[in-house]
A = this chain, B = another copy of it.
């Protein structure tokens, strides 16, 4: 028996088939093969090369998708037929490669996180702006049908004002040699928040607490708190030490509340018409009484979601941004905002949870490429 899947597509493509763009994937480790496969299968792209310092690794990945491989980055960057590169190297190499590629006139998409520090992220965004090129963050989750639906519901006003967001992303995870659990996992949550919040990640401060109970030298359990402009709050729990796996985000609004359970493929999104309403005239500190509060206990609705590979949607959006000469939905600026919050969180963590201001000073990157 074959499974049945829906075929509806949320991410639109230009109606007229354009000439294909040519891209090279840099880095053939964990994530590179997924990028290679999706660009190879995309109607928008030709995969021009897979490149890795380890040539055999590059060749193996390239062979599997019927693409050429390249043994050096320069070879790729000097090829005038290549329009763009996708970077899937370790984060510490993102800045140098992206800046070089942008300098050679290539559009760039970068695996999350955009860089391993905010300063380097700023440089990358500057380089893209100077050269009039697209710099995109591969915030893959933002291109899943679930997150696209959440963004759509918020944009349409179905949720109302956002009251709180609570995200739990826990598992028995690999202890990373170079980063703590916040840098490893929280970029997922932060990039999603930047994508779905009407004003993006614009909070002025952040609190982070964490724990390293195994003495690994870095936090393996982390909690992140972000005040929302609306008066609400966002909270993120990331954890490498959980025996059970949970990936669950609640987006509570004044009208409805979304529960996204990413591990329930049969019902990823549930929308509850349940909540609390206050008689707004009496909204003062002194007189919230039972008489001024009412409780809504309505029905729940779980919309059907398309079965789509998020990376295919991401590849489409990258091509569309280049052709449209516009910023990508998950732009370099988005990647930079995630880094800004992460750096503030790292400082808060080091100070035992003290609130730390988030640095937002950057060029107006969203309005340009």
A residues lining the B interface (CB < 8 Å): 1-6, 30, 63-64, 66, 161-164, 166, 171-177, 184-185, 205, 207, 209-218, 220-221, 223, 225, 227-228, 230-233, 235, 237, 239-245, 250, 252, 254, 257, 259, 266-267, 272-276, 278, 283-286, 288-290, 293, 295, 297-304, 352-355
Contacts of A4 in B (CB 8 A): 172-174, 295, 297
Contacts of A220 in B (CB 8 A): 276
Rounded to whole angstroms, the CA-CA distance of A30 and B3 in the bound complex is 12
Contact of A215 among B171, B231, B239, B241 (CB under 8 A): B231
* A-B CB contact pairs (8 Å), 11 listed: A1-B174, A166-B237, A175-B293, A209-B225, A213-B228, A214-B276, A217-B288, A297-B304, A300-B302, A300-B304, A354-B354
Rounded to whole angstroms, the CA-CA distance of A244 and B258 in the bound complex is 10
Rounded to whole angstroms, the CA-CA distance of A21 and B157 in the bound complex is 52
Contact of A214 among B163, B171, B301, B355 (CB under 8 A): B163
A245/B266 contact (C-beta < 8 A), A300-B302, A304-B298 known? yes
A209/B233 contact (C-beta < 8 A), A30-B2, A217-B286 known? yes
Contacts of A173 in B (CB 8 A): 1-2, 4
Cβ-defined contact, B295 with A304, below 8 A: no
Rounded to whole angstroms, the CA-CA distance of A212 and B289 in the bound complex is 15
Residue of B nearest to A235 (CB): B223
Contacts of A230 in B (CB 8 A): 213
Contacts of A2 in B (CB 8 A): 30, 173-174
Cβ-defined contact, A276 with B209, below 8 A: no
Contacts of A210 in B (CB 8 A): 233
Cβ-defined contact, A355 with B355, below 8 A: no
Residue of B nearest to A63 (CB): B66
Contacts of A276 in B (CB 8 A): 172, 175, 214, 220, 240-241
Contact of A6 among B177, B214, B218, B297 (CB under 8 A): B297
Rounded to whole angstroms, the CA-CA distance of A230 and B235 in the bound complex is 25
Contact of A267 among B215, B235, B300 (CB under 8 A): B300
Contact of A232 among B164, B213, B257, B355 (CB under 8 A): B213
Cβ-defined contact, B299 with A302, below 8 A: yes
Lowest 4 CB-CB distances: which A-B pairs, in order?
A243-B272, A217-B285, A211-B233, A163-B213
Contacts of A273 in B (CB 8 A): 304
Least CB distance, A44 to chain B, in whole angstroms: 22
Contacts of A216 in B (CB 8 A): 278, 283, 288, 293
Least CB distance, A234 to chain B, in whole angstroms: 9
Rounded to whole angstroms, the CA-CA distance of A300 and B268 in the bound complex is 11
Rounded to whole angstroms, the CA-CA distance of A66 and B65 in the bound complex is 12
Residue of B nearest to A232 (CB): B213
Residue of B nearest to A177 (CB): B289
Least CB distance, A129 to chain B, in whole angstroms: 32
Contacts of A163 in B (CB 8 A): 211, 213-214, 221, 241
Cβ-defined contact, B278 with A207, below 8 A: no
